[in-house]
Amino acid sequence: MNRFCEHDRVKYYCKECKGNGICEHDRLKYRCMECKGKGICEHDKFKNRCIECKGSSICVHDRIKYRCMECKIMLSGKLTGKRKREEV
Ligand SMILES: [Zn+2]
Ligand SMILES: [Zn+2]
Ligand SMILES: [Zn+2]
Ligand SMILES: [Zn+2]
């Protein structure tokens, strides 16, 4: 089975080959707002980043996880706490 096209891409996602993963707007179908792809939620956002959908990238503080200062502090607090315990 040849999954790669002449453009050295996975054919399914190749824009030039119009793979099945590409929509009529030349975007990844599941991320296309206009096609309402699987990655787009009812709020017209990327599902995993949608606060209302509680996407996987959203933390308990309703922020994007990797940008959330509170999460960073929480995480670093946990890490130092663990390290201290290990030292004792
Ligand atoms: Zn191609
Ligand atoms: Zn589209
Ligand atoms: Zn949403
Ligand atoms: Zn957070």
Going from N- to C-terminal start, the domains of the chain cover 1-40, 51-88
CA quadruple 27, 62, 58, 74: dihedral, nearest 10: 150
What pTM does this model have?
Answer: 0.66
Q: Which residue has the tokens 């707007």?
A: 25
pLDDT for res 34: 95
* Residue 7: partners with Cβ closer than 8 Å, 6 or more residues away: 14, 16, 17
Q: Which ligand neighbours the alpha carbon of 46 most closely?
A: 3
Cα–Cα–Cα angle for 69, 79, 53, rounded to 5 degrees = 45
Instruction: Name 64's bridge partners.
Output: 58
Q: Which ligand neighbours the alpha carbon of 69 most closely?
A: 4
pLDDT for res 84: 58
Residue 83 has pLDDT above 60, yes or no: no
pLDDT for res 78: 75
pLDDT band at 28 (very low <50, low <70, confident <90, very high): very high
Distance 69 CA to ligand 4 centre (A): 7
Residue 4 has pLDDT above 80, yes or no: yes
